[in-house]
Amino acid sequence: MWSLCSRLSSPGFALERADKKIGAGVVAEYDTGSQAMASELFEGQGFRPERRGAIARVLLERKRDCLLDYAVPERLADQIGIGSHVRVPLRGGQATGWVIGFPAKPAVEGLRDLAGIPAEPFPLPATLLALAEWAAGYYCAPLAATFACLLPAPVRRARTREQLLVSCLPQQGEEELDRLGCSPREKQAWTRLHALGPTWLSELCAGTGIGPQVWKRLAKRGLADLRKAERSRHPLIDLLPERAALPVLTEDQAAACEEVRSAIRESGFSPFLLFGVTGSGKTEVYLRSVAEALAHNRSALVLVPEIALTPQLVEQVQRRFGDLPGRVALWHSRLSAGERHDQWRDVCSGRVRIVVGVRSAVFSPLPDLGLIVVDEEHEPAYKQGETPRYHARDVAVMRARREGIPVLLGSACPSLESYANALAGKYRLLELSSRVEDRSLPWVRIVDLRGRGRRRKAAAAGGVTESPWLSRELREELGKRLARQEQAILYVNRRGYARVLQCADCGAVRECPQCSVALTYHRAGESLRCHFCGHFEPYPKACSICHRAHFDPLGTGTERVVEAVEEAFPTARILRMDSDSMARKGSLPEALRTFAERRFDILVGTQMVAKGLHFPGVTLVGVVQIDGLLHMPDFRSAERAFQQLLQVAGRSGRGEERGVVLIQTRCPVHPAIQFARHHDYRGFAEQDLEFRRSLGYPPAVRLVLLVWKSPNEGLCRQVAEVEAEEIRRRLAGVAEAGEILPAPIARLQGAFRYQLLLKTPRIAEAARLLKRWTEERGRRADADLVVDVDPVEFL
């Protein structure tokens, strides 16, 4: 067995030598999104897919990297190459892994033969192998974990689906039915099949009510053909009618499109930041750019941060480019394993030319890739929450650089890291300064909630009940929209009914037994849930402390806001959209479609309704609650709040009528709220960038967050303090280390957590040193360690 520490010296398994020039002369390091990515973490000869030999070095599919050498049997010699997925003997059974090299000499004598290859092999392209190698080094992750991103588990485990297909034989007619003495049921089945054409047996039985035995008798009589055939599980197989005519581009759109087209024609690495106000037509720029890539016989990859954004974007892509079935692929976790398997195979084969997907789609094996688009590039959802903790936006930029193609990052409120790169000339800034068709940005009004509690109590004493969640101003605006048959969106940044359930007598709060957080009350199902570990318990019959049965729900969520709206407007048609109500497969696109068709008047939702959606009927957006986000223990809290306000405000007034936005807050003078009120991104960016420079936060420096986890709190702290000293010693002069502190959520999923924050201007060197140290450290059963390079969450 080979240690990962030795892999860099093994032949056939090293990274290509760093290219010292990028684009127009930027050297050494290159900023991508939230980080200035190193041009390379290691130097070497690179993957050489043409090399083959009698000995294969295999990286096993395991949480910890393990390299083993195997002999290549003659029967597999022509089928095995760099990146091949193989089965190998291991102890008394078998394991799977990837071939990552062909060493001249084995590590040990008496090698065992490779056992074989999977029934459906998916060899990994050399460009993606090198990308995975870079990601493993930069994000301090096991190489096997990054390889697993290149060939996801559903693709590896699912199989091609075969079903029975029934069709009429062309030489047979109705007279043959009488000659053969067919029963009335068989005649009915034959007539239906003749009208329908070739149809899957399962669908025939379900659609006609005729059992399978009847169809099989037709086949025995020679009246029908019954045979097994592969049935595709492509979720986008249906064709959509194309749009009659392309929209006329604004002057800004035309200029942006021409810039990207020129970069595609020149076939070189060109990173663009498309900064356009909400409703300015960024999607049209994406579509025109994709069309240019297809015109040059190249494929395109379009990334979105969340599943909620895929239905509308995929529909637009299909209408523009879906002239052939299966040309567009969709990729996210809500697809079945079979759907992901079939699409991945079609992507590998080159049949699919456009992939639209969430962050994991950044590793799609598209051949002849010509363009990568990253929509809503500022979204933290692009950051993977488990090992490997990669940032899909930054991996997309690195992939584009390696493949020598343009990458287009788009946002109405770019991350400050990307904006700083544009100001420094590392990204080419493209601007869309106005909405399409000269539509006005929505008018934003701030509703100051300070002192409203006293007024509600005074009103209640007089017999008048007011909802704390719907201010008088917001109720009036909602009433106007309902009277004019217009639509409204209410934004709440929490799902459930109430944030906390508190005993009205003793003040005790129900907390999660596994995490140091209060349980959220969900009225639907009368349950308490932890949104971090998934713990679930029924509504309590009595307080566990004082044993009384009086509880007060504190705070609000989407369920409570829906209740308040229903009480205020009993006849309004209300749709709730959050991860609870949209859990069923297909419910999200159905909900978006019904709201777009104006079958609902008011949409109440979490951040999944705040961005990327286009509803011309919406003329009012109400921000019910935003203050909690302003005061999170995170240096990005103001930026996150500003981005969410700007995005959700952009859902209003996208039709003929000018929109209105109401922001309910007790912090009306907070800079994030004031800049959002005036749609002033540049003013906010200038102020917040100066704040970060003064305190030493990205993009002025780079961060690495180390988190130790253990069920034993004392042991966790002890291990963290000891290992932190070793880290300080190894990274002396490279990174500045803070103090060991409990995480803001000190206990999560049953484990206590302590963390260390590193600040460094030399992220490539720091990542390399940390990677080497973590490999030497190995895994400890008593205290796990998570290394998060360029973290976006600190809770």
Which string of DSSP letters, residue by residue, matches 220-267?
HTTSEEEEEEE----TT-S--PPPSSPPPPPHHHHHHHHHHHHHHHHT
Angle at 680 between CA 674 and CA 683, to 5 degrees: 90
Helix, strand, coil shares of the chain as percentages rounded to 5? Answer: 35, 25, 40
Give the pLDDT score at 170: 65
Q: What are the residues whose beta carbons fall under 8 Å from the beta carbon of 216, sequence distance 6 or more?
A: 226
Which burial class, exposed, middle or buried, applies to 224 when counting CB atoms under 10 A from its CB (0-12, 13-18, 19+)?
Answer: buried
| Spatial separation of the C-alpha atoms in residues 427 and 557, rounded to whole Å | 39
| Spatial separation of the C-alpha atoms in residues 712 and 714, rounded to whole Å | 6
Alpha-carbon distances of 290 from 347, 354, 439, 765, rounded to whole Å: 16, 8, 26, 36
Strands 29-32 and 35-38: antiparallel
- Residue 615's nearest CA partner among 633, 596, 643 is 596
Alpha-carbon distances of 170 from 166, 174, 225, rounded to whole Å: 13, 11, 10
Query: How many separate helices (H) and strands (E) can be counted in the chain?
Result: 23, 32
Give the pLDDT score at 43: 30
Q: Dihedral of the CA atoms 382, 384, 389, 395 (nearest 10)? A: -30
Residues of the chain short of pLDDT 70, as ranges, are 1-52, 158-163, 170-173, 231-234, 237-244, 323-325, 457-465
Per the DSSP assignment, residues forming a β-bridge with 704 are 758, 789
| Spatial separation of the C-alpha atoms in residues 593 and 612, rounded to whole Å | 14
Q: Return the residue matching tokens 């959220």.
A: 520
Q: Dihedral of the CA atoms 286, 288, 289, 291 (nearest 10)? A: 120
Q: What are the residues whose beta carbons fall under 8 Å from the beta carbon of 477, sequence distance 6 or more?
A: 488, 620, 622, 660, 662
Q: Kindly state the tokens that stand for 99.
A: 């071939």
Q: What are the residues whose beta carbons fall under 8 Å from the beta carbon of 695, sequence distance 6 or more?
A: 635
Give the pLDDT score at 325: 65
Q: Write the single-letter amino acid at 310.
A: T
H or E, element range at 560: helix 558-568
Packed helices 143-150 and 126-138: angle between N→C axes, nearest 10 degrees: 140
